[in-house]
Structure 1
Amino acid sequence: MKYLESTYYFDIENELVQNLISEFKTNRLSDKEKTIGIYTKVRDDWKYDPYSISLSKEKYKSSHIAEKQSGNCVEKSIILIACLRALGIPARLHLGKVKNHIAVERLTEKFGSNELTPHGMVNVYLDKKWLKMSPAFNKSLCEKLNVEPLDFDGENNSFLQQYNSEGSRFMEYVDDYGYFDDVPLEFMIKNIKEHYPNIFDTNEKITEFKL
């Protein structure tokens, strides 16, 4: 199955990726338990950072992301997919566009919009069905934003924090780009440049952004 394959981006044989899944490589855990465990690990061990953007191919390798302490939603999805595939659990990347409604001042200042694109999440195949899950927002960040962290139970979709704890609108999906068996970097770069042209006004050759 192609959703189990190793690729340039999902370099699942790499020692760094293998080290991340070492605690889950046991027959004592079901695929569902392994998925819940590695999902929670990726969600909370990498702090969410939407302000770091790269157009460089090597920066989206799961082994590179494994060495970091933070990542945007696409990066965190990539490392989660690599870990799942390394455990023999089919997984693929799902991209879309989301609109944030809380704590958007800095987003709007840096991006010129409160919409984030492409927004990454993960599709995982468990018990003969595909499920959606988003590891983007770490638990400590959710506490600051007064939003319940997204837990994954292995049986239901868990990808959208629609409201905060007070019932105010937090985020919404405004577009769905579908799923991919590998990282569609050309599509992502085109998408970023179309939605955030102000970032590229000064120098088209820039490949790294820390906004």
Structure 2
Amino acid sequence: MNCLKTTYFFDFENEIIQKLIASHKENTTSDKEKAIALYNNVRDNWKYDPYSISFSKENYKASTIAQKETGNCVEKSILLIACLRAVGIPARLHLGKVKNHIAVERLTEKFGSNELTPHGMVNVFLNNQWLKMSPAFNVSLCKKFNVEPLEFDGENSSFLQQYNNEGSLFMEYTADYGFFEDVPLDFMKKNVKEHYPHIFDTDNNETEFKL
């Protein structure tokens, strides 16, 4: 199955990723318990930052992301997928577009929209079924926005924080681009430039942006 392979981006044979998953690889817990532990680790130990965007291949390698303190939704998903594959759990990248409804002032200022694309999450194969999970929003960020963090129980999909704790609409999916067994960098570049043309001129040769 390709969803277990090491690739340029999901480079889980790298010693940095191997150190991250060492305790999970050697213990005798179930795949479900390993997936939950790895999900929580990536969700909370890399703070969510949607304002750093890169078109550099190197920056989308799991081993590169692991050395950072922050990551956007795609980067955190790549890291989690690499960790899952490293312990023998099939996983793949799933991309879509989301619209945020709370705390969108800076988002709208930087992107000219309250929509983020491509938004990344993870498909994981457990108990003979594909489940969706999104490790993007760390617990501290969720507390700041008064929304419950996404918990993954290993049996149900967990990828949408639709409402905050007061019942107000928090976010929604507005497009689904499907799943990918490897990181579709060319598709991602095209998608970003099409949705944010005022920021990303198609003739711009820069590979990294801090908005």
TM range (shorter): over 0.9
| Normalised TM-score (structure 1) | 0.98
Alignment of 1:131-210 (within 5 A): 131-201=131-201, 204-210=204-210
Q: Which residue of 2 aligns with 1:110?
A: 110
Aligned-residue sequence identity (percent) comes to 75
Equivalent AA in structure 1 for residue 77 of structure 2: S
Aligned equivalents of 2:189, 2:28: Cα separation in 1: 42
Deviation at 1:141, TM superposition (A): 0.2
Aligned equivalents of 1:145, 1:131: Cα separation in 2: 26
Aligned equivalents of 2:207, 2:49: Cα separation in 1: 17
User: Contact between 2:77 and 2:121, CA under 8 Å: does it hold in 1?
Assistant: yes
Aligned equivalents of 1:100, 1:65: Cα separation in 2: 24
Deviations 1:21-68 (A, max 9, x none): 112113421000000000000000000000000001111000000100
Deviation at 1:163, TM superposition (A): 0.1
Q: Which residue of 2 aligns with 1:32?
A: 32
Residues 20-29 or 41-50, more deviating: 20-29
User: Contact between 2:193 and 2:202, CA under 8 Å: does it hold in 1?
Assistant: no
The 4+ residue runs of structure 1 with deviation greater than 3 A are none
Q: Which residue of 2 aligns with 1:122?
A: 122
Q: 1:64 is paired with a residue of what secondary structure? A: helix
Aligned equivalents of 1:158, 1:71: Cα separation in 2: 19
Residues 101-110 or 199-208, more deviating: 199-208
Query: How big is the alpha-carbon RMSD for the aligned residues of Structure 1 and Structure 2?
Result: 1.0
Matched, 1:3 2:9: no
Equivalent AA in structure 1 for residue 95 of structure 2: L
Deviation at 1:102, TM superposition (A): 0.3
Equivalent AA in structure 2 for residue 185 of structure 1: L
Aligned equivalents of 2:35, 2:201: Cα separation in 1: 42
Deviation at 1:207, TM superposition (A): 1.1
Q: Which residue of 1 aligns with 2:90?
A: 90
User: Contact between 2:92 and 2:179, CA under 8 Å: does it hold in 1?
Assistant: yes
Mark the runs of 5 or more structure 1 residues left unpaired by the alignment: none
Deviation at 1:203, TM superposition (A): 6.3
Aligned equivalents of 1:85, 1:185: Cα separation in 2: 20
Q: Which residue of 1 aligns with 2:59?
A: 59
Aligned equivalents of 1:49, 1:159: Cα separation in 2: 17
Aligned equivalents of 1:108, 1:203: Cα separation in 2: 23
Equivalent AA in structure 2 for residue 137 of structure 1: F
Alignment of 1:36-55 (within 5 A): 36-55=36-55
Aligned equivalents of 1:15, 1:91: Cα separation in 2: 20
Q: 1:161 is paired with a residue of what secondary structure? A: coil
Q: Which residue of 2 aligns with 1:101?
A: 101
User: Contact between 2:134 and 2:150, CA under 8 Å: does it hold in 1?
Assistant: yes
| Normalised TM-score (structure 2) | 0.98
Q: 1:97 is paired with a residue of what secondary structure? A: strand
Equivalent AA in structure 2 for residue 92 of structure 1: R
